[in-house]
Amino acid sequence: MKDALGSVQSILVLGGSSEIGIAIARKLAQPRRATVVLAGRVEAALQKAADDVRAAGAGDVHVARFDASDTTGHEDVIAKAAEMVGGDLDVIVLAFGVLGDQQVDEEGGNGAVEVATTNYVGVVSSGLAAGRRLRSQGHGTVVFLSSVAGERVRRANFIYGSSKAGMDGFAQGLGDSLAGSGASALIVRPGFVRTKMTAGMSEAPFATTPDAVAEATARAIAAGKEVIWVPSVLRFVFAVFRHLPRVLWRKVPG
């Protein structure tokens, strides 16, 4: 449970090798040496992330198996994480996601389905399980890593963008369903973040870092916010973009 100053004592990151997820765990764990569970698919990557989070000042750090596409196991992963931290989960971060390769995936194969399954179906399943857990505790925050790519979907990356639009809508609804329960949902909408997901791509304007996303997320949790943009200027940029005529919008490059 959060202490009197709002510092968290237990954190679960689903997609525990995500660079943004690790940065959030590092940031949230520091003040109270919180217990952290990093859950994901690749043991070696999780162990490396665990060392990183420990070095940043976390208390106990555990790793666990989680696959976004194995939806039948999600309830169990969250229950086991609660056992690992010895009680309630203060923050559950849904940090997993895949970008796909729009040009390749438009041509066929399973890439588009993998994007939709991971980024949308996986979020629906684990997000509902997280919501049930936090509602039963009567406190806690589930953090959704959405994206400005979902705020207005672009021709250049509409497979990924639509998966983020779907998960963002789901997260808004889940947040509304939690209102009054003591638990809450925070939607984080970053722009371009320099991580392994975007390695080798040309940077978009207002590019930022995992640590900046983590700082903003920690502040938003403490303030009880429901939606943030990182950097915050993107809120206003997309308020304008949302109203551009489609004939212009479809020409926005990738």
Ligand X SMILES: NC(=O)c1ccc[n+]([C@@H]2O[C@H](COP(=O)([O-])OP(=O)(O)OC[C@H]3O[C@@H](n4cnc5c(N)ncnc54)[C@H](OP(=O)(O)O)[C@@H]3O)[C@@H](O)[C@H]2O)c1
- Alpha carbons 103 and 29: distance in angstroms, whole number: 39
Backbone angles phi, psi at 184, to 5 degrees: -155, 170
User: CA 162, 131, 161: angle at the middle one, nearest 5?
Assistant: 10
Tell me the sheet residues that pair with 92.
12, 142
Residue among 145 and 228 whose Cβ is closer to ligand X: 145
Report the nearest approach of ligand X to the CB of residue 163 (Å): 8
Report the nearest approach of ligand X to the CB of residue 123 (Å): 8
Residue among 7 and 119 whose Cβ is closer to ligand X: 119
For residue 188, give the nearest of 214, 163, 170 by alpha carbon: 214
Residue among 71 and 177 whose Cβ is closer to ligand X: 71
SS3 content of the chain, % helix, strand, coil (to 5): 50, 15, 35
Active site residues: 160
Residues that bind ligand X (CB under 6 A): 15, 17-21, 40-42, 45, 66-69, 95-98, 118, 145, 147, 190, 192-193, 195-198
Residue among 207 and 222 whose Cβ is closer to ligand X: 207
Report the nearest approach of ligand X to the CB of residue 86 (Å): 24
User: What six digits make up the tokens of 181?
Assistant: 């329960």
Q: Among all residues, whose Cβ is closest to ligand X? A: 97
Report the nearest approach of ligand X to the CB of residue 162 (Å): 13
